[in-house]
Every structure is written in structure tokens, then in C-alpha cells.
Structure 1
Amino acid sequence: MSQTSPSLAPAQAGKRGFLQELIGLATAFGMAGAGHAATPFAPGQPQRRPGMEGKRFGMLVDLRKCIGCQACTVSCSVENQPPIGQFRTTVLQYEVDRPDGSAPAMVSLPRLCNHCEEPPCVPVCPVQATFQRSDGIVLVDNERCVGCGYCVQACPYDARFINHETQTADKCTFCEHRLEVGLLPACVESCVGGARVIGDLNDAGSEINRRMAEHRDEIKVLKPGMKTEPRVFYVGLPDEFVNGVDGQASVRLVSDH
């Protein structure tokens, strides 16, 4: 069982610096402009499904309702069929030491692709296999992907992996194939505690916007300092986890809190 803490270890700090440099380079070359998500295809991009016009999808995760049951992890695997041992979404269990020496607290933290407004995985792809639809969903064109792993390294959220079977990049897609026919993503539909909500952030009356308005002062995102503008939001996220979470291990120990 590995160990981490919000005070970054040298290796973690080095990785963060590398990611920041990647994002900075992409911005400097005009590859990650503010209007990137507004058009179906960036210049020179191959024709693809443009997304659901006028919508901007996001997800809200209420950690107070998550019981760590892994129903979302299982249903996602059944729906999307990643290789055994690889997952598009996980619920990591964090053991948090208490300063008074009492029994550690357990925190269940769902992790997935954040479908960022400024996704750093898009500009680093040398073959334009990773792209962002007009509705904000970030996808991988597996017919173009060469499995170089640049996008995996560029993602600050450790949300991507190279699929062992296809040898191409893989990750959460918000189950866009289900959204397009009016269904919920598998992880949202299967969540027994109702911890996950997905919806259109452009619709003021959507459930996700209503819930976010109710908890306006409690909404947090992971690694805001990376300037990716993630569209996965959390309620009940301890401050220690905002910038102190790395890796995809199933269990991590967060000490000194």
C-alpha cells in the first residue's frame, strides 16, 4: 500500500512541473485556445461526430452519498468492456490519519476523466486521435490512435491508460453513446446512493445545475491549479484532496492530516 500526502513528494512535484510545461507549450502554440470546445472540429481535424449541439455535459459527484460499493466501476466495465484489470472509472479508498491518533477516517473518492474545458490531452496528440466534441465530451478516435501515450502523460488526473487489447488510448467517455439516445451513463444509473449526477451545464434548469446551486460554496474540482477547467465537480471533497491526489492505486494512505 503506497503513501501520499498533500505536501507533494519530489517525484510528484516533478510530474506536475512536466504537465504544466506541456500545457504551457500547447497554449503558446495556440493549440488549446479558449474557443476549442465551441466548434465541432479543430482546423485540420478529420470529420467526426460533432456532439449534441448547444449542450455542455458535466458531472457532479456528492462524496457524502458515495459508499464505496464499486457498483459504478463494475457497471462501467460491463458497459464499455475494457480489458480485465483496467478501468475507465474507479472509486479509490483513502485512509486518512487523524492528528489525535484515533482510528483513521476512510474517504471514498470516485475518479474518472474530467472532460476538461481546456483538455491538455488534445493538443499533445501527434495524430489528432484525441478530440473534444462541441458538447465538451473528450473522446479518442481508436482508428487514428497509435498508442504513443503522450495523452496519458499529459492528463493531470491519471484518467487515461493504454488499452492492453487495442494498444490505443482509453478512458471514460461519459458513455456518450448512451447520452445520445437519452440514457444515463452506466456509472450514474447504477449508483445506489445517487452520488453521481450528469447533465447539461448550459441548461439553467438541469438537475446538475440545481444541485450545484444548492451547494455553491461546497463545489470543488481536482487540481484547479492546472488550469484545465475540469467539468467533474465534487461536493464534500476534503481540502487535502484538491491538490494532493495522484495515481490509480486501489488504496492509498494520506498521512499527516
Structure 2
Amino acid sequence: MKKERRLFLKGACVAAVGAAGASGLSIANSGGQKEDNSTNCKYALIHDENKCIGCDACSVACRETNNVPEGVSRLDIEREGPFGEYPNQFYRFTRKSCQQCEGKPCVNVCPTGAAYHNPKTGIVSVDEWKCVGCLYCIAACPYQIRFINPVTKAADKCDFCKETRLKEGRLPACVEACPTKALTFGDLKDPHSQVVEVLKTTPNYRSKTELGTRPKVFRIASQEGEIKL
């Protein structure tokens, strides 16, 4: 039944796009939810590249917690290096996952509302029932992190474990699994949250902000030398 409904949506989507033209893609927003300014919180994540050791505990925990199939991934740790001369060599580890953009390019192009923004949490998610696999969101994402889930046949990505850990009042799986505490998660609207304290006291950067994406994944740039815990 689910498959038939999605096929119906896909047919309806194609017809609507053909009638309205490419300009009509931007009308779909927030999965049918009307966005407003009454956001209760704004979740964000910090990745400290100095504390990250590239152990992949985060990506393993993500896969197990969210039932991510083999061959695709919501979270990867990319490695660069070694840099420097032996024995003083070092590596750089960077996180590749959804940036939870406030600019929401993926949401803006979704013709069915499957990609949506939750105004209560600031999290960008995918409603797999509404997704027709058109790949518009994948093409629109400047971070190239979305993929088609081979099991659900819908677009997929990191959603801060909102359907698993956050529902239980816990931190995202990657944050809990990190052995070096390289990840900090919290509410940007809470001035006393740990994530706000870190951002206020530590130099940080975000990726591709010049595109107007306004990502909510922050990074503490890797410095030359050994990991200090």
C-alpha cells in the first residue's frame, strides 16, 4: 500500500511540475508545515577537529542506531595527511554529514514537501512517505551528503537522531559514542548550553557559508601537533 501511494505521489508530482514549470519547485516548504518564528529551540553540533582521532566510533553508532543500510552512510569522517615530517606527523579529520542549514536549499527544491524544516527544533528532515526519489534535493545540497536509501527508496541523511535518541531525551548517537568528546551538541537558543559556551570561547568556522546556507554544524579547526585530551 505504501509503495502504491508513493507511486501516486510521484505521478502527481511529475504532472504538477510539468504544468507549473521549474519555478514552481520552491513552493513546497516544511513538509506541509507552516513555518513561523515560534521556534522552541535551535539544535546545533560542534566538531572539534583537534580532539577527533578518526576512530569512526561516531559513524558506527549512527549506522546501528538509525538502521542505515550498508553501502550508504549518514556520517563519514574524512582523513587528510599525514602532514609534517616524521616523527612529528599529524592528520586532519573532518566530519561529513548534513549541515542542518537554515537556508535549506534541499527543502526549497523539494516538489512534494518530503524535505522539511521543523520550526520547533530547527532540524531539517525527510518524510520518506512523501519522497518520490526525484533527486532534486541531492542535486541542491552543496555539501553532497544526501543519498537514496536502498531500503526505503527515499532520500536520507543525518537528522541528529531525532527519531531515535532525541525522542528518548538523549544526545545523538555520534555524540554519545565519541571517546574523545570531540562532539558537542545543544541548543543555540539556550545561552547557558554547552554548545553556546564553546562557540563563545573557541574560534570556529562553518563550511560554505558564502552560499547563504547558514549551517548549524560548526567546526573547530585542526591545529598542527598531537591530540590533547
Bin for the TM-score computed over the shorter chain:
0.7 to 0.9
How far 1:110 moved relative to its partner?
A: 1.3
Q: Can you give the 5+ residue segments of structure 1 that lack an aligned partner in the other structure?
A: 1-25, 33-40, 239-257
Whether the aligned pair in 2 keeps the contact of 1:147 and 1:168 (CA below 8 Å) is yes
1:106 correspondence with 2:79: no
Number of matched pairs? 198
- Higher Rg: 2
What secondary structure, in the 3-state scheme, does the structure 1 residue paired with 2:62 have? helix
Partner of residue 117, structure 2: 132
The structure where helix makes up a greater share of residues is 2
Aligned residue in 2 for 1:189: 176
Closer, same or farther: CA 83–61 of 1 in aligned 2, 3 Å:
same
Determine the structure 1 residue equivalent to 2:56: 70
Q: What CA distance in whole angstroms lies between the structure 2 residues aligned with 1:166 and 1:86?
A: 12
Kindly state the Cα deviation for residue 95 of structure 1 after the two structures are TM-superposed: 2.5
Q: Deviations over 1:218-256 (max 9, x none)?
A: 210011111100000001257xxxxxxxxxxxxxxxxxx
Counterpart in 2 of 1:220?
Answer: 205
- Per the alignment, residue 226 of structure 2 pairs with none
- CA deviations 1:45-84 (Å, max 9, x no partner) are 5359x9x951000001111100000000100000011111
Give me the whole-angstrom Cα distance separating, in 2, the residues matched to 1:220 and 1:29: 34
- 1:226 partner amino acid: L
141, 145, 154: which is aligned to 1:168?
A: 154
Q: Secondary structure at the match of 2:207?
A: coil
**TM-score of the superposed pair, with normalisation by structure 1:** 0.70
CA distance in 2, matches of 1:53, 1:183: 20
Instruction: Measure how far apart 1:94 and its partner are.
Output: 1.5
Question: Could you say what secondary structure the match of 2:95 adopts?
Answer: strand
Q: Specify the code of the residue in structure 2 equivalent to 1:203.
A: D
Question: Scaled by the length of structure 2, what TM-score is found?
Answer: 0.78
Matching residue within 121, 124, 133 for 2:106: 121
User: What one-letter code is carried by the residue in structure 2 that aligns with 1:184?
Assistant: L
Distance 1:156 1:47, change over 3 A: closer
Match of 1:57 among 33, 39, 43: 43
Give 1:234's aligned residue: 219
1:141 aligns with 2:127: yes
Identity %: 37
Deviation at 1:186, TM superposition (A): 0.3
Corresponding residue SS for 2:168: coil
Q: Please name the residue that 1:151 is paired with.
A: 137
CA contact (8 A) 1:220 1:237 kept: no
Structure 1 stretch 163-172 or stretch 89-98: which is displaced more? Answer: 89-98
